[in-house]
Structure 1
Amino acid sequence: MAEPDIHFLDARGPDGMRLYAIGDVHGRLDLLAAMHQRIESELEWKPARDWRVIHLGDYVDRGPDSKDVVDFLIEARKRDPRNLMLAGNHDLGFLDFLDTPDPDGLFMRYGGVQTALSYGVPLAADAGWFGRMETMRRGHQALLEAVPQHHIDFLRSLPFSISFGDFFFCHAGIRPGVALEDQNPQDLIWIRDVFHDHAGLFPKIVVHGHTPVPEAEVMANRVNVDTLAWQSGMLSALVVEDADKRILTMTIREA
């Protein structure tokens, strides 16, 4: 039997479990580390019986510290498996570039140059088509040598969604009218308008990022916590504990 649709105000997390869902990081290690420090402090001064920290994808590109963000997340998961990470389109775009370099693909067009630099590899294109292709070819080879295998294994291991209580977590959103368990992975990391424009309720509240907003957006059927951290200096998270819901923000302006 299908689950009844639910409104945000009525949604609850699992009994005794506190959830933190963190939006797109995009290479801002400073914000990610500060958010984790804040969460650890909260868990210390107000302990929960159980907890999960859910990262909603897009760890690389655009910001300055993609390599260190991946290292941080790998260590966090190793330290405590209650730190969970989902796949974002930029994370898979990074893998796609390592597999088959494309000068017009997501990685090269939207912040992959900064990701490569974080691994010590310049990818800035030379003038002219031939120069551009040759620079990319050399850069791709250098990047293959610079990216540790455990980073690739980590990014390949990321699931597309996870669910706790009345909440469904993914990077971009869901396709309305399709059961949560039948969602296409491409929709989970790429969808926008058809999801955002859907006014009806879903069986669970969809918590996502992917589409930047000036501040966390809380709707009847979804919550968007992508506050353009790499540029705005503000990383946002949804916190759920039983019936209580709140937005947690961490702000650091780049000098």
Structure 2
Amino acid sequence: MGRWRQLLGWPPPRRASVPAGMRVYAVGDVHGRADLLQPLLGWISEDHAKRGGAATLHIVFIGDLIDRGAGSAKVIDLLTTGDRSGAQYHVLSGNHEEMLLAILAGESDGVVGWLDHGGAETLESYGVDPARFWDDPEALPRVLRSAIPSRHLAFLRAMLDQVRIGDYLFVHAGIRPGVPIEEQAARDLRWIRKDFLTSTVDHGVVVVHGHTIVPKVEYRHNRIAIDTGAYRTGRLTALGLEREARWTLTSRLDRA
């Protein structure tokens, strides 16, 4: 198509952009890796300062801040008490936050599944031994409400489903192709995989998402995948966006 555009004298397709005067960093799935998030936030601040000129700094956290890694409580602490240096935070709820919030609301049916998929590590980060709850899942909601600080609970409950900035839509997992943005179901935004990942349709926005691990940031014409598997690979990535420019920052350790 690009060659035909050249031959026909058509202008190249307009690249997605964010509004002038804004700089955006989108942080992939943290999954309890506070040891990667803390330096990454520092590098974002430094990178923002070096680039200069932007009126406002926006940082979007793409969801799945918790579970799997050892530092879920510290991750929430960093985002609720840390120095934001003037940045505007937009925090999305991932499927792991959805599971935790359901348990906090008293739904014990999902306890074992949550524990098996990283919830055990989150409990340990709040000083709770998870061992008894595989056999006694109904006891967990009450224990969780006591163990998690009220500031953390308020933060989790205030998470967003989606954020749009300019031509970019930020969600945790993806969107349902063919469904208007304003009609997207929360479950799809947090859980969808195949139907979204294999879609080649123009969504009307470029969807920036996590949820599905990729070896490095994956750019498609209709989406950008930024989950580089922090809990497994030791690499936590942030996507930078300003006007039509794109770049990445990666926090990594020698050992995951």
The one of 41, 49, 53 aligned to 1:44? 49
Whether the 8 Å contact between 2:238 and 2:249 is mirrored in structure 1 is yes
The CA RMSD over aligned residues, in Å, is 2.2
Matches within 5 A, 1:1-255: 10-47=15-52, 48-76=54-82, 80=86, 82-99=88-105, 100-102=107-109, 105-124=112-131, 132-134=134-136, 136-138=137-139, 140-254=141-255
Percent of residue pairs bearing the same amino acid type: 37
CA pair 193-138 structure 1, distance change in 2 beyond 3 A: same
Change (3 A) 1:198 1:102: same
TM superposition score normalised by structure 1 = 0.88
Q: TM-score normalized by structure 2?
A: 0.88
**Residues 1:142 and 1:254: Cα distance change in structure 2 (over 3 Å):** farther
RCO comparison, higher one (Cα < 8 Å, 6+): 1
> Can you give the 5+ residue segments of structure 1 that lack an aligned partner in the other structure?
1-6, 127-131
- TM-superposed CA distance for 1:75, in Å, is 2.3
Residue 171 of structure 1 aligns with an amino acid whose one-letter code is H
Corresponding residue SS for 1:210? coil
Indicate if the aligned counterparts of 1:76 and 1:83 stay in contact, CA closer than 8 A.
Answer: no
Report the secondary structure of 1:116's partner residue: helix
Paired positions, count: 243
- Where does structure 2 lack aligned partners over 5 or more consecutive residues? 1-11
Task: Give the distance between the partners of 1:208 and 1:84, measured in 2 at CA.
Answer: 14
Greater mean deviation of Cα atoms: 142-151 or 198-207: 142-151
The letter for the 2-side match of 1:50 is: T
Q: Secondary structure of 1:107's match?
A: helix
One-letter code aligned to 1:179: P
Aligned-partner Cα distance in 2 for 1:78–1:245: 22
